[in-house]
Amino acid sequence: MKNNHISSGISYLDKISGGFLVGDNVIWRVESGSFVELFYLNFIKSSLRNKKKVVFINFNSSPKTILKRLGSLAHKKNFILLDCFTSGKGEKSDLFTSFYETGEVKKYGCKVIYVNEPAKIQKFIEVINHIEESCPKGTSYIINSITGIQDLWGSEKQVMKLFTHQCPRLYELGTIAYWVMEKAAHTKGFRANLSHISQVVIDLSVQKDICNLTIIKADNRSTSEVMKPQQYKVVNSKIQFLTPKKDTLDIGTKIKRIRENYAISQVELARKMGVSPSTISQVESNIISFSLTSIVRLAKVLDIPVGALFEDGEKSTDKIIFQKANRKPVNLTSISRKKVSAEELLPPNLTGADNMYLISFMPGVSIKRHFLIHKGEEMGYVVSGKLVVTTGEEAHVIQEGDSILLRSEIPTDWENRSDDIATLIWIARSKIF
């Protein structure tokens, strides 16, 4: 890991998330059966191994259960368990208070702090503030149940107050804080507000006994894996991510490449296919596969031969000539080919190549948007004809021999006011979605 990055304790998670940064508040949105405890146990192990103090704030289980689950970690002096369960959900039952009264708590080498009346919000915040101020910078925090806090305090509004109070404090203290929540127990608005404030959001879901991890948000780091579900399983209490084998037919990547070169978003393709956007995402990540019927329907939607989805993309890399007759048309989202047509000038599987298109505007055509879904720099050269392009409030006339460069500008209007076809060579410097 880089010097300013903190490990999650799981190398593959570090890779796809871009690593955790000092000051991160990490929201874990989980479903039952997704083994979130294994993720935070690995984080605890990694933190203690690096001589960091760890504070585990427990609302959901008895301290005895938590400490048994921790195993040898429960005897580490740098580990602090803040027990908000016994006097909270545990309702001071003899079953749980006996852990202290019989002295069983002394069997463990870590520090256990009993929080009396955690349902009193201000009192709980005072306890947390005291711990934060007494612990060194870089302490790792695990809050094992936002849902348990809400159950105790009675409303999402109160929990949001805690989060908005603690999140910036923990950030300034240079911590990494895990916040675990059962996503089905909270409103969409509450989840959105938490996501907006936090730096990292990770979703754990279970579909037909298959576990998926998805990075929803990862601020200020370089990763291409955001919103891509990652399949994993648990073997002998260890998380194992399942990556596609390179020697298998990678249809998912082929579908993604064709979709991107046709300038179709996952949402648009999902709508045309009659499936959810998450289904398209999982197919492109090779987590699930389309049935043969769905593949045939996909080929019709993309207006390509079914065989194009199974072609070996490496075969064309040795070619140096690409005939006009073999060009593939590009479907421009929501724009009729009778108005604006587009063709690929180079095959889509050239490693490192920009996307190059031949764009033709029919006579008298006007479109009130850019013909591509803009992502990054784009440039064009007018081969023939004349066009009027509007960016912001200014209209520009471009004609044969002229060039145009779009850095962050997005045209709101393209017009061909002449009686001739206007043709552009268009280069997109990054993928288009």
Q: Are residues 301 and 329 in the same domain?
A: no
> How confident is the model at residue 105, as a pLDDT?
94
Contact 76, 87 (CB under 8 A): no
As a whole-number percent, the residues of the chain with pLDDT over 70 amount to: 90
User: Which residues, 6+ apart, have CB-to-CB distance to 209 below 8 Å?
Assistant: none
* Alpha carbon distance 18, 253 (integer Å): 21
Residue ending a domain, choose from 225, 241, 257: 241
Supply the CATH number for residue 415's domain.
2.60.120.10
User: Which of the four pLDDT bands, split at 50, 70 and 90, describes residue 351?
Assistant: very low
The answer on pLDDT for 178 being more than 90 is yes
Separation of CA 222 from chain center: 12
Q: Are residues 421 and 330 in the same domain?
A: yes
Domain-embedded: residue 363 = yes
Q: Are residues 253 and 297 in the same domain?
A: yes
User: Which of the four pLDDT bands, split at 50, 70 and 90, describes residue 349?
Assistant: low
> How confident is the model at residue 158, as a pLDDT?
92
pLDDT, averaged across the chain: 86
Torsion, Cα of 361, 363, 368, 371 (10° steps): -10
User: Which residues, 6+ apart, have CB-to-CB distance to 205 below 8 Å?
Assistant: 31, 34, 211, 212, 214, 229
Token pair recorded at residue 388? 């009027």
Q: Are residues 233 and 273 in the same domain?
A: no
Over residues 300-332, the pLDDT tens digits come to 887 777 777 776 544 444 566 777 777 777 777
* Alpha carbon distance 78, 139 (integer Å): 10
Over residues 196-220, the pLDDT tens digits come to 889 999 999 998 778 999 999 988 8
Domain-embedded: residue 30 = yes
User: Which of the four pLDDT bands, split at 50, 70 and 90, describes residue 4?
Assistant: low
Q: Structurally, how many domains does the chain consist of?
A: 3
Q: Are residues 378 and 262 in the same domain?
A: no
Report the 3 state secondary structure along 22-80: CCCEEEEEECCCCCHHHHHHHHHHHHHHCCCCEEEEECCCCHHHHHHHHHHHHHCCCEE
Q: Are residues 213 and 356 in the same domain?
A: no
Contact 316, 349 (CB under 8 A): yes
Contact 159, 110 (CB under 8 A): no
As a whole-number percent, the residues of the chain with pLDDT over 90 amount to: 50
Over residues 330-348, the pLDDT tens digits come to 777 678 888 998 888 876 5
The answer on pLDDT for 432 being more than 70 is no
The boundaries of the domain holding residue 273 are 247-311
User: Which of the four pLDDT bands, split at 50, 70 and 90, describes residue 99?
Assistant: very high
> How confident is the model at residue 344, as a pLDDT?
83
Domain-embedded: residue 61 = yes
> How confident is the model at residue 317, as a pLDDT?
47
User: Which of the four pLDDT bands, split at 50, 70 and 90, describes residue 91?
Assistant: very high
Domain-embedded: residue 316 = no
Which one of 32-46, 238-252, 370-384, 401-415 scores highest in mean pLDDT?
32-46
Supply the CATH number for residue 295's domain.
1.10.260.40
Give the three-state DSSP class for 141. strand
Residue ending a domain, choose from 268, 292, 311: 311
Q: Are residues 47 and 165 in the same domain?
A: yes
Q: Are residues 325 and 357 in the same domain?
A: yes
Domain-embedded: residue 369 = yes
> How confident is the model at residue 311, as a pLDDT?
63
Give the burial class of 324: count Cβ atoms within 10 A of its Cβ; 0-12 exposed, 13-18 middle, 19 or more buried.
exposed
Q: Are residues 189 and 210 in the same domain?
A: yes
Give the burial class of 184: count Cβ atoms within 10 A of its Cβ; 0-12 exposed, 13-18 middle, 19 or more buried.
exposed
Contact 170, 74 (CB under 8 A): no
> How confident is the model at residue 352, as a pLDDT?
47
Q: Are residues 161 and 200 in the same domain?
A: yes
> How confident is the model at residue 319, as a pLDDT?
64
Cα 114-116-119 angle, rounded to 5 deg:
125
Over residues 34-79, the pLDDT tens digits come to 999 999 999 999 999 999 999 999 999 999 999 999 999 999 999 9
* Alpha carbon distance 219, 19 (integer Å): 11
Token pair recorded at residue 397? 């006339």
Supply the CATH number for residue 120's domain.
3.40.50.300
Helices (H), 292-349: 292-302
Q: Are residues 119 and 223 in the same domain?
A: yes
Over residues 253-300, the pLDDT tens digits come to 888 878 876 668 889 899 999 998 888 888 887 778 888 888 888 888
* Alpha carbon distance 173, 54 (integer Å): 13
Residue ending a domain, choose from 278, 311, 344: 311
Token pair recorded at residue 160? 């949001």
Contact 42, 216 (CB under 8 A): no
Domain-embedded: residue 31 = yes
User: Which residues, 6+ apart, have CB-to-CB distance to 356 below 8 Å?
Assistant: 344, 345, 346, 425, 426, 427
Q: Are residues 226 and 171 in the same domain?
A: yes
